[in-house]
Structure 1
């Protein structure tokens, strides 16, 4: 009886563990190891919304064309391509991650496009509490005037910029202690989008900085805010290969922390655009 109880208990624990995992599919075009355009956008959206995920397993698949050996090789390339994108975007990867490429040895769909995929298995980790101090937001009237002044001069700054140059965008505002962009900031983001649209060779890195935080290396919120700007551009159909990001926390303040006043906090709390290619 005790043995039966133990077996049942362990079975329930195992079932809970399995069902706590979630999965996400990424699709590829025929004979390609880079996600197709639709899936690439969906993957970036998933990364933005699940930056606290830990990936446990990545399985790669192919359609039924070609032999088992070639298909396994292509499936592995798809896994490696996906893993590279995840690590570049700071998604946590389990130390015991399981990477399995399948050739023809899996239950295939009758629709070939559905077999050209990678499946992520992941779990969501608890989000840490951000400790960013006394962050404040200017009044809406101030925001509107400042954004309009900056919007009018932003294109000329990019026109003069060279690779490696950094352009500070001062008037992207977020809801207090979050990565939610305030609606009034949309005009400056739209201007950034227009600059990217008109300059198809322009590649950028979005750098996020926060104020007030004495724990300088805590970059979580600054990363989330940089990701939010990246997500805005992705939704506008700017290709994800042209966009990267980095959160610096408060490791690169303009003014020493703790700041003396709101003017200094505002200067430290910023989004920068670094020119990667143009």
Structure 2
């Protein structure tokens, strides 16, 4: 099977916070302030996007359980855990200019059920949007070609896989981030201009021992890569592409481009990706 590799954006939870800021969320287990494996993986991804010189603010939060006093202290412990991890990875403590624990005073939702409470147990990292990016592109001789050009290439035949560039999801979920819309809109136009084209959307994850899939916060199930692939097919279908031309499959960690454990962030980026396979032209 042929593969064409395009650089992928980090699959991290960056959301708009203000005109010149981005907010990144790290989540915690119930009544805990220690960083989980998922949290450190997300923080490692964050570190690759923003250099240690970035100006950062840390805001801790909890779910609704326990008293205000207890949760205020717990939320501060969570910000401290995140700060200590960032400093251990090269961030300057002086550039972390604010640390606050809001306890349960600023929930994202009504704390109805474990899913909503999990989303509230978080530390938000607010970083200046103009911070110098630290992401290095994955270079190859095809990266200058658009998705449209690759599909049009006569070398792109049935069985060819293409890694989607700039395809990004909120961390730990199958919710598509706004910056993914250009590549999805381009794919819609490609499908419309090539009415016989049939594709399979294929999701992959990184940083997991064995072949299993990742945990999806939104569904509380272990089929993250499948749900992400399915969500892209839903978008294409809603945009006018016949569902008969769309297939999806989640491979979890079955097809890593570099073996576990991934040793560098570049290896992790390569493994957590979304591809489209050309089924029929």
Pairwise TM-score range, normalised by the shorter structure: 0.3 to 0.5
Relative contact order, CA 8 A, sep 6+: which one is greater? 2
Q: TM-score, normalised by structure 2?
A: 0.47
- The structure number with the bigger radius of gyration is 1
Q: TM-score, normalised by structure 1?
A: 0.48
More helix, by proportion: 1
